[in-house]
Amino acid sequence: MKRRILSIMLTLALVILLTQQSALAVDDGFSSVYTYNYDYWGEVVESPDAYRVEQVVSSASLNLEVPMSSPQSLFATGNTLYIVDRGNNRVLQTVRTGYTFSLSRIIDTATGTEDDYKTAEAVYKARKAYEDLIKQREDAEKKLDQLKTELKDLDYSEQEEILTEEEKQKAGEKTEQKEKEIQETELLIEQLAEQMPAAYDTALEEETKAREAGCRIWQYEAWHKDEEGKVTSTLDSPNDISVDKDGNMYFADTNNQRILKTDKDCNLLWEFVKPLDSTFDQKYSFLPTKIVTDSTGRVFALATSVNKGLIKFEADGTFTGFIGANKVTYNTWDYIWKRYLSTREQRAQMADFVPTEYKNLYIDQDGFIYATNVNFSEYDLMGDGAKPIRRLNMLGDDILIKNDRYPPIGDLDWKEGMTPNDYHGPSKLYDITVLDDDMYCAIDRSRGRIFGYDQQGIMLWAFGTRGAMEGASNGAVSIEHMGYDLIMLDEFTGNITVFTPTKYGQMIYQANHQYLTGDYDGSAATWKDVQKLNANYKLAYIGIGRAQMRKEDFTGAMENFKTAYSRVNYGKAYRYYRQEWMEKNILWVALAIGALVVFLLLRGMRRKSKWEVFEHERSKAFKQR
């Protein structure tokens, strides 16, 4: 009994000592940011802080005369951070020196040339004539539907016996009037339909002429010419910005229905507008919200009411189609009701089953586009049907690697909450940024959290919360990074929170980088240091196991993968272990198999000879009888 008590006391002392060592290892004098991860069973496991709040940048700290209003996006390149201040129709360019951000300039206008302005007028008029016909036809079709409904309401056939002659006459006159209006409206629709092809050809011809002339201005009415002949255009509710390797800037100028491409001095290089193409529904306005550009100058955009995927433009403004459309999702019961049980009138009033739109975009250094999606059924999440994070190649295929038990969806348990004020529902990953080594981080607007994943889709950590405290956010709308520092924008407060990795977070990045660059011994050593701070961190065991596999220590790798419950990696290690064992013992295996074959042959021959002797003696016995 005394030995058992002593053993329990020693165990408790060891646990307390390890806990104190872990706490001291990450105690750097900064306030704690609640950080956690998930174990194999999907249970929350607390961990040391991977990040800390380094700084909060606000309108006051940037010395802005007009505070930010509903900012929507961040873009970082080098030590420059762009802030899209939508409510004030401007983009703020800031420069980071150390941990201090200072305002460099305010971008709110672009400058064009007079020649482009003059050339664009003809294109604008031809486009507007075609769009006016589309609008007139759409209005006429709506009017026709309304007239048919009114005519149906005027059907008094069931009340004919109780109506007076005067009432019958008035009803007949009203019916005739509606029928006449219907005929006139149908005739107008036919006339408009006949005029549209010619108007389309005229608009296309003017656009072709303008392109051959080198025109760059297309949204003519958004540009203005002053008395000195200077042509300028003001941003109107911009939603996003991108900057290419040459310093050229791209603005998603939403209310002006265009994407502007300018040089670093805001001189117009190109203006991307609604494609004059049959695959783009011309009755909708072109309202770009998010944009990315690749190394060749191609532009990929998201636009309101466009659910065919990413809109793709070449560097010269040519529209070349859509890529990466979401699959159509629908509720099974809704489909059965709409397809088999509802009437034609009911089906006409129901929403169509259409693909959902992406929420945000990011393009990595290899040219792959990461896209987030917040419109899905929560029942599709765990089965990887929702795919809230995707990595698209140029064919639009999702090639995101998911080698963890759970796909990268943010929180695994979204039903927690004991009070009515607690948020329920899955994570809504509004934005994403990709760090070095294909690690990526996404923000959850629902709970103000940031989730980090490695290139295998394994969660690194999660931290953050909603509220007014430092590091919390109620309106997280955009995330960027500078090195391994994470920068989060709050739409409601206009504050920009800068998170820097702790020693614990730095070691996670270092271990992963060492492995990818071939320093397997260094990677294993760093992962062991991570284990000292967090013995429950499964990625440390996986990291050590991967390094051991590269060094062909398959038994050690299997042990670490088993501890981390990583079945996929364990299977790989076991396959290599079995192959290695066979290669080392192939001679003995061959000898054993050969000996077994010889033994079986000799045994068979012996049994055969015994059987022949037995049959011979048996036949002799019969003959003697």
Confidence of residue 159 (pLDDT cuts 50, 70, 90): low
Helix H, strand E, coil C: the string for 36-90 is: EEECCCCCEEEECCCEEEEEEECCCCCCCCCCCCCEEEEEEECCEEEEEEHHHCE
At 168-194, the pLDDT tens digits run: 677 677 788 888 888 999 999 999 999
CB-CB neighbours of 111 under 10 Å: 15
Q: Phi and psi of 146, rounded to 5°? A: -65, -45
Residue 418 pLDDT > 70, yes or no?
Answer: no
Query: Was domain 232-502 assigned CATH 2.130.10.10?
Result: yes
Which one is predicted more confidently, 27 or 455? 455
Other CB atoms within 10 Å distance of the CB of residue 525: 14
How far apart CA 413 and CA 423 sit, in angstroms, is 12
d(CA 336, CA 317): 43
Please give the mean pLDDT across all residues of the chain: 85
> Is 320's pLDDT higher than 60?
yes
pLDDT band for 604, please (50, 70, 90 cuts): confident
CATH level 3 topology of 505-568: 1.25.40
- In this predicted structure, what is the pLDDT of residue 156? 62
Q: Which residues contact 525 (CB under 8 A, 6 or more apart)?
A: none
- The whole-number average pLDDT for the span 314-328 is 83
- Which helix H or strand E contains 590, and what residues bound it? helix 586-624
- The predicted model gives 373-381 an average pLDDT of 85
Quick one: DSSP state of residue 159?
Answer: G
Where residue 316 falls among pLDDT bands split at 50, 70, 90? confident
Which range among 158-162, 213-217, 280-284, 325-329 has the greatest average pLDDT? 213-217
Rounded to a whole number of angstroms, the CA Rg of the chain reads 35
pLDDT for position 422? 57
The pTM of the whole model exceeds 0.85: no
Please give the pLDDT value at position 526.
Answer: 95
Q: What tokens does 285 get?
A: 């306005």
What are the φ/ψ torsions at residue 124 (nearest 5 degrees)? -60, -45
- Highest mean pLDDT among 52-66, 152-166, 320-334, 532-546 belongs to 52-66
At residue 625, the pLDDT reads 59
Lowest model confidence (mean pLDDT) among 86-100, 229-243, 392-406 = 392-406
pLDDT confidence of 378, banded at 50, 70, 90? confident
The confidence band for 29, taking pLDDT boundaries of 50, 70 and 90, is very low
Contact of 306 with 375, CB cutoff 8 Å: no
Pure H helices in 154-219: 165-212
Angle of helix 503-516 relative to helix 2-26, nearest 10 degrees? Answer: 80
Under 8 Å between Cβ of 543 and 527: yes
Query: Shortest CA distance to 302 belongs to which of 221, 352, 375, 365?
Result: 375
Greater pLDDT, 557 or 329: 557
At 328, the pLDDT band (50, 70, 90 cuts) reads low
Cα–Cα distance for residue pair 292/67, rounded to 1 Å: 27
Give the confidence band of 620 by pLDDT, cuts at 50, 70, 90. low
Q: How confident is the model at residue 9 (pLDDT cuts 50, 70, 90)?
A: low
Q: Is the pLDDT of residue 259 over 80?
A: yes
520 neighbors 527 (Cβ within 8 angstroms): no
Give the highest mean pLDDT range of 17-26, 219-228, 304-313, 360-369: 360-369
Query: What tokens appear for 31 in the block?
Result: 């306030």
For the chain, which residues make up each domain, given as ranges?
Answer: 115-215, 232-502, 505-568, 585-625
